[in-house]
Structure 1
Amino acid sequence: MNKTTIKKLLLIAANCLLAVFIIAVIAGAALVTYYISSAPELTEESLVATVSSKIYDKDGNLIADLGTEKRSNAKTEEIPTELVNAVVAIEDQRFFSHRGIDVLRIAGALLNNLSGGNLQGGSTLDQQLIKLTYFSTSTEDQTLKRKIQEAWMALQLERRNTKQEILTYYINKVYMSNGNYGMKTAAKSYFGKELKDLTLPQLALLAGMPQAPNQYDPYTQPEAAKERRDLVLAEMLEEKYIDATQYEQAVLTPVTDGLQPLTNEAAYPAYMDNYLKQVIEEVESKTGYNLLTTGMDVYTNVDPAAQQQLWNIYNSDLYVEYPDPNFQVASTVVDVSNGRVVAQLGGRNQASNVSFGTNQAVETNRDFGSTMKPITDYAPALENGIYTSTADTIVDGPYNYPGTSTPVNNWDKRYFGTMTVKSAIQYSRNVTAVKALEATGLENAHNFLNSVGIYYPEIHYSNAISSNTTDSSRQYGASSEKMAAAYAAFANGGTYYAPQYVNKIVFSDGTVSEYAAEGKRVMTEETAFMMTDMMKAVMSYGYGLNASVSGVPMAGKTGTSNYTDSETDTILATVPEANYSYMVVPDENFVGYSSRYSMAVWTGYTNRMVPLLDNGMHVATDVYHNMMAFLNSPETATDWEMPDGLVRYGSSYYLKGSRSVTNYYYSTTTEAATTSETSGSTTTASSETTEPTTNSPSTNQNGD
């Protein structure tokens, strides 16, 4: 091939590449033009809108109108310079020099993210205002179209309005926790003052809150609020808005300085507060929108009568005798057929002037004790063929945690010898639980737990009898919400539904998103039924009997956590009455279900080192009993039907074709033949292994 031909080919290739480039540029420009043309209209009404979200119960009745209760817009001249400086310093340091988008900030954020640093965004205050007004913050909605529209609208905002007006829109638009919208409203609510009368640290506190209002709430999260406030002050110092002396004085000021008691102006009943907090979280998770700053209609699964009844059980003396006003309860009730949360309450005697505070019903910082045994040990053992009947036997005797010299202790420091799996669950033996986990395997048990919504960074043999984990984040460990949903899979025959608060959302533009229950089978019907049968036995003994409701078939499990030896020594030395109490523990739980509802209850004190003594041990089952009696009528209650894959002999259930059935037939045939030869009569063998009468547990203990 000669040089002339090569040159021609190179020229053709170059022209083709140029043509492709030109076409790509034209296509890109056309796409950008299309996206811009379909962007929402920038209007004064939208930028200053006082939006509200309406929340409805399971029957479509209005229960809350969020967004209308506390909002007072500030005029531009009412906003002090120090607040402007604080907002700009923490949110958009080049606000006064860019024209809506900050190319330098976008490039810096991109380089940081690519280098593996903490994820950063490149949004300006203009873009944040556009998001608050028009768009979702959901990761799924971070599309090229959305980004182009957002940038275009930010540029138009800069052409339409002055910097002062844009800041005013932002300061009036943001949510500031506790039902407050806009920083002027928050100044009045928190400090009883106008913005111009606030101190530097108070203004810095307000400036730092919009990114995570509830997380930086000075009433409920003072440490996080102070850390955020001090970051704002540090940025102000770096930008030379304040000097070192002002900075030092401000960071030494308590974050609670000047805070006044909040007044309750919530536009919903107090008993709905915890439930609504979870609705807000689920809406943001599903859509990216914060319903406190974006108008929408949200249809929830709450049963208002059940929610109010739960509140009444917690906060009156008509149902349960509580040891003292500080004693705490958290519980969740779910519909076992679909996972819908019908009622939830995270504490007793909650402060009426704090909106969307801590909800212990979804927190995983407390131990659910032996209520973990059915889902960590015995159900996985059945699923993996370790046990094939409720009459399979296991030895409760001296035993160490696998691979260690550490003994596994039962709650009563005793051993019952050979016993059935059913009895092991009924009497809550720790040794048999760890043995079941060892036989099943940690990985198999971990997989089963994950399938029912319980996660650990890694599972240990100690998790056979405890939900403790070294990671304190809410995604790991157990909560009343997680436990109610996990046990519901036993109640409905083996299908797990994630707990759900919201079933439909109608957005301001009329579009509708509906959320149907999505279940996944996590165990066989046979496993679910055998677990239910074995946990029915719990309802006939000790505190389990206290939880039962006459005429309503139920199954469940008690659970008690323990202090370490050193913690016990500390408590005995500092709490005199603990020396006279039979039980000194931090947590007492009960998780149970009928064929309609599953309910998990945690009880204890907010401060874990305040012990739960004898007179508090019955409260978890008392709460469960009273709530489930309200929800389940004996006249309409139904029992569970045995699946086709099981066969019943006596009071025990066996998998058809399993070794347990073979062993049963062999033992009964041999016994019958022996009896016939010696006495001339035939007897029927018991399907249960008899407990040694000398070691039978006392019936007045909970068995944990």
Structure 2
Amino acid sequence: MKRGRASHSLAIGLVLCGVFICTSIPVGATDVLGTSFTNARDLFWVNMEPGLRVLDCSGKLIGTVGAQYGAPISTEKVSKHFINALIAKEDKRFYEHSGIDFSTFFGIGYDLVMRQRSRGGSTLTMQVIKMVLLTRQERDDKLRRKIIELFNATTVEKYLSKENVLFLYINRAYFGKNVYGIRAASLFYFGKEPRRLTLKESAALVGLLPAPAKYNPIDHPDKSEEQARLVLNLMLEQGKISAQMLRSATKQKLSLSSVAQTPPQTKFFINHVSSIVEDFKENYTGKTNIRGGTLTIKSTLDPVAQAVAEKSVVRHLSTTNIGGGPDQGALLAIRRDGSVLAMVGGRDFRENEFNQATKSQRQAGSTFKIFVYLDAFERGLTPDSEILIGDVSREYGHHVRNADGTYPQRIVLREGFINSVNTAAVRLAIGRVSNIVDIAEKMGMAPTFRRTSADRYGNLRPNLGVALGTEGVRLIDLVGAYNVIPNEGRYLRPHVIEQIRDTKGSIVYKKSLNPKPVIRQSFVTYMKDLLVGAVMRGTGRAASLGRYAGGKTGTTQEYRDAWFIGFDERLTTGVWLGNRDNSPMQGITGGNLPAKIWRNFMLECAKRRCANLP
């Protein structure tokens, strides 16, 4: 017993000593409130966790990433049931103390010093200090954090009224599921504004605060019910509700909001947006603090086109994934201005989050021939020019195989392109590889072909294999490059973000279009001739829309990759199919399944008037 009393006295002494010496700790409410901030609404924006709200092109929410903060609202716009429940559960003497409740003070200190599990007891004011005024790193040091809270609680209440402390608490408290603040929580869990919360709903929200992952009503309805009853009983004991109100609330069944789930394939797009925003943050030079809080992103995604894309890819994959695959597929569609209308990055985001449309570098196959033939035009050839092929296999050093098994000695460029004759492409590329790569880079392939001091072309080795698409490319870059042709020679990099607003609603980024002329108009006319011909009577016949369309097929060795990239009057779309482990597929070429998927998507988009396309 004596040892127990000695330990208890030591704990009290250490806590009191800590309160005394914490004047030397530089972090605290005094420093913050004494300089930059004068009211509670200013403090709402401090030390927020980062998050995104991603909207489609029409402004409808399609997904979230990270912390989701609700707009700050005054206590008058929150149900009195919630306010009463909060005070009853978290700080019943809130209106009596000056920041520290000394009736629980020594118990908290003893638990901290003796390293026992805390029995709770922090006032709302102390919790506001933790959630608003301290960084995450400072919050993680529990002992130091408690000392700071104890020392600064009275100072906080000196600068802020009780109502302002309450304002900060209800707007910054964490309610689980990445939801912060009473407005976001009320909408997320119950689909209503905070002023309409019932007594039972209020009790459930307050009940989850100590451990949101453990007590939230979505994942743990039984435990949520227990916590709600606990809060209601406390309210009864403190005279905040009557026995009849308790009985009525206990009988009420919580009616949870149906949380809209982002389709798995759309999450590829959401993640890509998130990565772009992170790059934007790193390079942002404006005065607004965009490191924390929930940014609102208006994206380019059209929900109708996205649904069509997902259905087109997944349906075809489900009917062909037998034995040799393909087990993965990707589709990316852009408007003439480069805005991404739809993006499918794989079969199922839940199985594999790797985005095949924006990250994967796969051999381009014959889709790369567009750059070979544009270079031919630059040196004076036309679609009607005839070239002598000769023995290109000997000059190349490897056997060059044509898909149809024929090896003409002479060929007209138009026929060589629309029938994807490999020997013709290699002949055109001999001595021109560097020029071909330069054209590819001008048309947007530079993100893949990063140049280094050791190797001018980075991943793209300057050899004749380039003519056959032996180097890795990304679908998003190929689609952007092909878009140059229907765009009359102008390049616009594919983009997914139209606008970014910070947590306060101010616009911190707005997309501006800067089309860059990269191909001469006469060469564009020639290339349109070839691409339209490939769809009408060449390797891309399966993609025919029965109206204006152009495109190119691509198939790599042993059927490891199959592509179709093409355009109509309004959209440029690319499709890639392959196996995740790069193993061969069984007879899948760019001219069959990818062309069919492309055709299905383009026809359905026109039928459903995606993005109000005429």
TM-score, reference length from structure 1: 0.50
Deviation at 1:624, TM superposition (A): 0.4
Change (3 A) 1:615 1:482: closer
Match of 2:467 among 455, 465, 468: 465
Aligned mates of 1:466, 1:172 — CA distance in 2: 56
Within a 5 Å distance, the mapping from 1:423-502 to structure 2 comes to 423-439=415-431, 441-455=432-446, 456=449, 457=458, 458-469=460-471, 477-502=472-497
Report if the CA contact (8 A) 2:55-2:61 is conserved: yes
Report if the CA contact (8 A) 1:480-1:600 is conserved: yes
* Aligned-partner SS, 1:553: coil
Change (3 A) 1:527 1:542: closer
Give the partner amino acid of 2:534.
Answer: V
Within a 5 Å distance, the mapping from 1:14-163 to structure 2 comes to 45-46=44-45, 52-67=51-66
* Aligned-partner SS, 1:465: helix
Deviation at 1:493, TM superposition (A): 0.6
Query: 1:577-596 CA deviation, whole Å, 9 max, x = no partner?
Result: xxxxxxx4211111111121
Match in the other structure for 1:406: 398
Match in the other structure for 1:330: 330
Within a 5 Å distance, the mapping from 1:265-414 to structure 2 comes to 267-288=261-282, 294-316=293-315, 321-324=319-322, 327-335=327-335, 337-351=336-350, 357-375=353-371, 377-382=372-377, 384-387=378-381, 389-400=382-393, 405-414=397-406
Confirm whether residue 517 of structure 1 aligns to residue 509 of structure 2.
Answer: no
Give the partner amino acid of 1:433.
Answer: A
Report if the CA contact (8 A) 1:605-1:612 is conserved: no
Aligned mates of 1:615, 1:523 — CA distance in 2: 29
- Give identity over the alignment, percent: 20
Aligned mates of 1:321, 1:351 — CA distance in 2: 19
Query: 1:45-93 CA deviation, whole Å, 9 max, x = no partner?
Result: 556757753221112222234446899xxx9999xx9xxxxxxxxxxxx
Give the partner amino acid of 1:392.
Answer: S
Report if the CA contact (8 A) 1:587-1:612 is conserved: no
* Aligned-partner SS, 2:602: helix
Report if the CA contact (8 A) 2:430-2:464 is conserved: no
Aligned mates of 2:593, 2:552 — CA distance in 1: 14
Change (3 A) 1:294 1:44: closer
Aligned mates of 1:447, 1:173 — CA distance in 2: 51
Report if the CA contact (8 A) 1:53-1:66 is conserved: yes
Within a 5 Å distance, the mapping from 1:492-571 to structure 2 comes to 492-512=487-507, 513-541=509-537, 543-550=539-546, 552-562=547-557
Report if the CA contact (8 A) 1:339-1:499 is conserved: yes
Match of 2:577 among 591, 603, 615: 603
Greater shift in the superposed pair: 303-312 or 410-419: 410-419
Change (3 A) 1:479 1:466: farther
Match in the other structure for 1:417: 409
Query: 1:643-677 CA deviation, whole Å, 9 max, x = no partner?
Result: xxxxxxxxxxxxxxxxxxxxxxxxxxxxxxxxxxx
Give the partner amino acid of 2:562.
Answer: E
Query: 1:502-541 CA deviation, whole Å, 9 max, x = no partner?
Result: 0111112333121122221110111112101111111123
Aligned mates of 2:375, 2:464 — CA distance in 1: 16
Change (3 A) 1:401 1:333: farther
Match in the other structure for 1:12: none
Query: 1:285-344 CA deviation, whole Å, 9 max, x = no partner?
Result: 223389996311111111110001111112336x99534386321111011x21111001
Match in the other structure for 1:569: none
Give the partner amino acid of 1:330.
Answer: A
* Aligned-partner SS, 2:410: strand
Match in the other structure for 2:98: none
Aligned residues: 412
Change (3 A) 1:413 1:509: same
Give the partner amino acid of 1:420.
Answer: V
Confirm whether residue 589 of structure 1 aligns to residue 560 of structure 2.
Answer: no
Change (3 A) 1:37 1:339: farther
Aligned mates of 2:437, 2:383 — CA distance in 1: 22
Confirm whether residue 613 of structure 1 aligns to residue 587 of structure 2.
Answer: yes
Match in the other structure for 1:675: none
Aligned mates of 2:423, 2:213 — CA distance in 1: 55
Deviation at 1:601, TM superposition (A): 0.8
Match in the other structure for 1:84: none
Change (3 A) 1:396 1:285: same
Report if the CA contact (8 A) 1:434-1:461 is conserved: no
Aligned mates of 1:157, 1:444 — CA distance in 2: 63
* Aligned-partner SS, 2:585: coil
Give the partner amino acid of 2:493.
Answer: A
Match in the other structure for 1:140: none
Aligned mates of 1:545, 1:630 — CA distance in 2: 18
Within a 5 Å distance, the mapping from 1:212-231 to structure 2 comes to none
Change (3 A) 1:616 1:423: closer
Change (3 A) 1:613 1:400: closer
Aligned mates of 2:150, 2:436 — CA distance in 1: 61
Report if the CA contact (8 A) 1:320-1:623 is conserved: no
Deviation at 1:545, TM superposition (A): 0.7
Give the partner amino acid of 1:424.
Answer: G
* Aligned-partner SS, 2:573: strand
Aligned mates of 2:442, 2:433 — CA distance in 1: 14
Aligned mates of 2:405, 2:359 — CA distance in 1: 31
Deviation at 1:617, TM superposition (A): 6.5
* Aligned-partner SS, 1:343: strand
Change (3 A) 1:39 1:465: farther
Match in the other structure for 1:92: none
Give the partner amino acid of 1:491.
Answer: P
Change (3 A) 1:50 1:443: closer
Deviation at 1:380, TM superposition (A): 2.2
* Aligned-partner SS, 1:333: strand
Aligned mates of 2:520, 2:536 — CA distance in 1: 26
Change (3 A) 1:424 1:313: same
Report if the CA contact (8 A) 2:313-2:330 is conserved: no
RMSD between aligned alpha carbons? 4.8
Match in the other structure for 2:22: none
Deviation at 1:467, TM superposition (A): 4.1
Change (3 A) 1:405 1:127: same
Aligned mates of 2:68, 2:505 — CA distance in 1: 24
Query: 1:257-302 CA deviation, whole Å, 9 max, x = no partner?
Result: xxxxxxx987533342111111111122223389996311111111
Aligned mates of 1:449, 1:617 — CA distance in 2: 23
Report if the CA contact (8 A) 2:67-2:293 is conserved: no
Aligned mates of 2:390, 2:505 — CA distance in 1: 65
Query: 1:602-647 CA deviation, whole Å, 9 max, x = no partner?
Result: 11111212433359972111110101112336999xxxxxxxxxxx
Change (3 A) 1:481 1:158: farther
Query: 1:111-140 CA deviation, whole Å, 9 max, x = no partner?
Result: xxxxxxxxxxxxxxx87869x9xxxxxxxx
Match in the other structure for 1:680: none
Aligned mates of 2:272, 2:337 — CA distance in 1: 18
Match in the other structure for 2:6: none
Give the partner amino acid of 1:529.
Answer: T
Change (3 A) 1:462 1:160: farther
Structure 2 residue runs of 5 or longer lacking an equivalent are 1-33, 71-89, 91-107, 116-133, 154-171, 179-210, 221-257, 450-457
